[in-house]
Copies of this chain bind each other. A is one copy, B any other.
């Protein structure tokens, strides 16, 4: 009995922030250890209000809200990648050979194969029912990169026989003008996919525009209802976002098992990182999501059998971040100055390729890896949508 009593006395109950505590000894003994030991070394980039909510010393009992969890958007500060150098205590057990040991996953060639098959399907559709898939593209302003992307998408459509239309709106168009263009595509039965080329100029709220887009024509898969259905087991989105869908295709076509594997996804953007992590999980990988707030990200990536990186930081992932034999899908496409190139720059990935190829078993190159797959998946999504619309099998 004495022993039981002694133990019971050590049970400290946490009842709420501030205010009266059930156990007077709490502040002096247990809880500061929980909270304080963690505060040291914290990446202090969270707005003051959010940080303040996370303290035990908030004594303004009466003025705090019923629910202390802040609105989620208040937490959405940009991922600013300033990775700390690997700790000196962390010696990576790398069997680093002096030669390249990695197989190169040739996204260009796989994408070509997919595009050629889509072309055959479109011809079959045309011959059978006299219809072809249609894609409507909305482009606002004259960003050079956006113009290039849109041109490439249209050329790819033309090549496979998908009819594409671009609604090109001026930089200073109103929200209503944009919604009108969207609506025109939306009601047009010959348009099966609509994409709004992002980013939009700042005066247009991307979220509000995307919310208006019909989920049935959202070939980019960015509508929240498609994202929710991608996340939830037992559900199927109308469309899976093109880049992560391309990543999974590359893995499957390369014979990489996903089930039961440890996967690290670096980056958590709505268009790549988030859907990639959700997709890998639907494929039964054990997924860890690494982002700018992750301390020692290399401790996580070096345990992963599959690494998908979409951070947008050149050479973020060094050879010693990777497990020998892992498979790496590098979504990063970062321009770096290179006077020896005709354009004055060249594209490199998030992964230090020269180091990685000596460690991993397979890797996508940049360019020529994930990039070509994105457009191929856009064509595939548009074809699927047309097939659904015409009940064509």
Contacts and interface: CB of A to CB of B under 8 A. Distances in A.
A278 interface: yes
A240 B207 CA distance: 19
Interface of A: 6-7, 10-17, 19, 22, 26, 30-31, 33-35, 37-39, 42-43, 45-46, 53-56, 66-69, 71-73, 75-76, 99-101, 103-106, 109-110, 113-114, 117-118, 121, 207, 223-237, 240, 245, 248-249, 252-261, 268-270, 274, 278-279, 281-284, 286-291, 293-295, 297, 299-300, 303, 305, 325, 327, 361-362, 377, 380, 383
Nearest to A364: B14
Given A256-B35, A257-B38, A235 B223 contact: no
Nearest to A109: B15
Given A43-B259, A259-B46, A260-B43, A118 B232 contact: no
A258 to B, nearest CB: 7
5 contacts: A11-B100, A43-B259, A231-B278, A286-B289, A287-B288
> Number of copies of this chain in the oligomer?
2
A79 to B, nearest CB: 9
A362 B109 contact: no
A287 B303 CA distance: 14
Given A14-B362, A291-B286, A38 B234 contact: no
Nearest to A259: B46
Given A14-B253, A281-B268, A294-B260, A380 B235 contact: no
